[in-house]
Amino acid sequence: MAKYMLIMRASDEAHKAMENVSFDEILETMGRYNDELMKAGVLLAAEGLDPEVSVVVDYSSTPPLVTDGPYGETKELFGGFYLIDVPTLEEAVEWARRMPAGPGAKTEVRRIPSIDEFPAENEYVYREKAWRQQNGQL
C-alpha cells in the first residue's frame, strides 16, 4: 500500500457555484463520500481548511515576511485534503474522480513517500523512524 494526498483546490468559479448550496447539503454530500472511503478502509485523514484564518510566511527576505493569507492573487486556493492508503496511483486517481466536486474545482493527487524510502543510516531519518514507531505511526 502507498499513501496519497488528494489536495482539493477551488477557484472563484467553484466558490460562486457553491454560494447557494446549504452547509447541511455540503456536509451530506461530502459525508457520503467520506463514508465510502471509510468503508473501503482507505481513509487515513480528511481535513478542510478555514478559508479566513491564514497567514503566509515568505522566505524570500530575512527575516521572513508574514502577511495575511491565503494568497490573494491566486486563481485556485488549497481548501482541504484527504490522505488515503491505496496500492496504486491509478486507484488514488479513481478515488479523486469520485470526489463530489463541481466546475472550477480540481484535485491534485500526490504520492507520499514512505520513511523507508529514505536512507536509514541518516541520523535524522533514524530519529524520525524511532519517533513514528514510538507514536504508533509505523
**What's at 3, amino acid-wise?**
K
In the chain, domain spans:
2-113
Q: How confident is the model at residue 128 (pLDDT cuts 50, 70, 90)?
A: very high
Contact predicate 82/24, CB 8 Å: no
User: Residue 38 burial (CB < 10 Å; 0-12/13-18/19+)?
Assistant: exposed
Q: How confident is the model at residue 95 (pLDDT cuts 50, 70, 90)?
A: very high
* pLDDT value at 72 more than 70: no
Superfamily of domain 2-113: Dimeric alpha+beta barrel (3.30.70.1060)
Q: How confident is the model at residue 125 (pLDDT cuts 50, 70, 90)?
A: very high
Residue 92, all three cell numbers: 488514488
Beta bridge partners of 4: 84, 111
3-state secondary structure 42-82: CEEEEEECCCCCCEEEECCCCCCEEEECCCCCCCEEEEEEE
How far is the C-alpha of 9 from the C-alpha of 82, rounded, in Å? 12
pLDDT digits (tens, 9 = 90+) for 103-120: 888 999 999 999 889 998
Output the pTM of the full model.
0.82
